[in-house]
Amino acid sequence: MADATYTPPAVWSAETVSGGRFANINRPTAGAREDKELPVGEQPFQLYSLATPNGVKATIMLEELIEAGHTGAEYDAWTVNIGDGEQFTSGFVGVNPNSKIPALLDRSNPDAPFRVFESGAILVHLAERFEMFLPADPAARAEVLSWVFWQVASGPFIGGGFGHFYAYAPEKYEYPINRYAMETKRIFDVADQRLGESRFLAGDEYTLADIANFPWLAPFTTGTIYNDANTFLSIDDYKNVARWVKEIAARPAVQRGRIVNKVWGDEDTQLKERHSAADFDGKRLD
């Protein structure tokens, strides 16, 4: 066990062992560690991801576009196992120099493909490309984007903050757990109060704001993230969030999007790769 108190050295050393669930891949440097190209399929969009909350944002968005009839939004989804360090291959770093999932290669014009990385940027790019889930009216657009980037800014407090120290850190310390539990509950309270005023986060219409926030908030309500976080944080108190989660979770595109690039749980709830709608045949969509 580490000491209860810690005095930082004058200069932090890269030799420091961080410990915890992701210790084998954590490094203080960027860039590729292995020379390996990414697979490329036949669809207009190539998604390299994993069914974590940030990854699910992208797959829900793509499935919603396809559900709405946008055949141009068809995509190949390739699993990137971040626990094994696959995000540090030369191919992946070429699509996202930050080595985080999801990463998207837009090949809708095969002669001029380009990358889009970071989940918020991917959502906005797709919304603008297909003119869906992001209103044209300036005031409505501003409201949607405000909630999208609220989520992007809040995610690190929930995942790298609360989730890490409560579920993944090798030792449990009161201060960081309390610090990030407080912030996570505040985030839920912001959402709960807003959803007490409107059906969806940005108003009465389902938008990018809901697609961005749902994958992070929903697993807390169902107790499927960070061990017993649902109980520890009294998530059942947030009734408006629960109502909103239930409505969105019933959407067919959301049900499909949640299992793409999923590599854990029951086999019939996993879709490690997705190349067409037929890949969902025989899968359980909850």
Domain that holds residue 217: 138-249
Residues linked to residue 75 through DSSP beta bridges, in sequence order: 45
The predicted pLDDT at position 286 comes to 83
| C-beta separation of 136 from 161 below 8 A | no
CATH of residue 60's domain is: 3.40.30.10
- Domain assignment present for 38: no
Q: How many CB atoms lie within 10 A of CB 273?
A: 13
Residues 56, 125: one domain? yes
Q: Does 286 fall in a domain? A: no
Instruction: Compute and round to an integer the Cα radius of gyration of the chain.
Output: 19
Mean pLDDT of the region 42-71? 98
pLDDT value at residue 1 = 46
Going by C-alpha positions, the residue among 256, 223, 255, 257 that lies closest to residue 242 is: 223
SS3 63: helix
How far is the C-alpha of 65 from the C-alpha of 59, rounded, in Å? 10
8-17, 72-81, 125-134, 249-258: least confidently modelled range: 8-17
pLDDT of 14 over the 90 cut: no
Asked if residue 244 and residue 202 are part of one domain, the reply reads: yes
Rounded mean pLDDT, 45-72 = 98
Bridge pairing between strands 45-49 and 75-79 = parallel
C-beta of residue 36 within 8 angstroms of C-beta of residue 72: no
212 contact partners, CB below 8 Å, separation of at least 6: 57, 119, 120, 123, 147, 148, 151, 152
Residues 119 and 144 in one domain: no
* Angle in degrees, CA 111, 116, 118, rounded to 5: 170
State whether 67 and 95 are in the same domain: yes
The structural domain count of the chain equals 2
156 part of a folded domain: yes
State the pLDDT confidence band at 37, using cuts at 50, 70 and 90. Answer: very high
CATH of the domain at 245: 1.20.1050.10
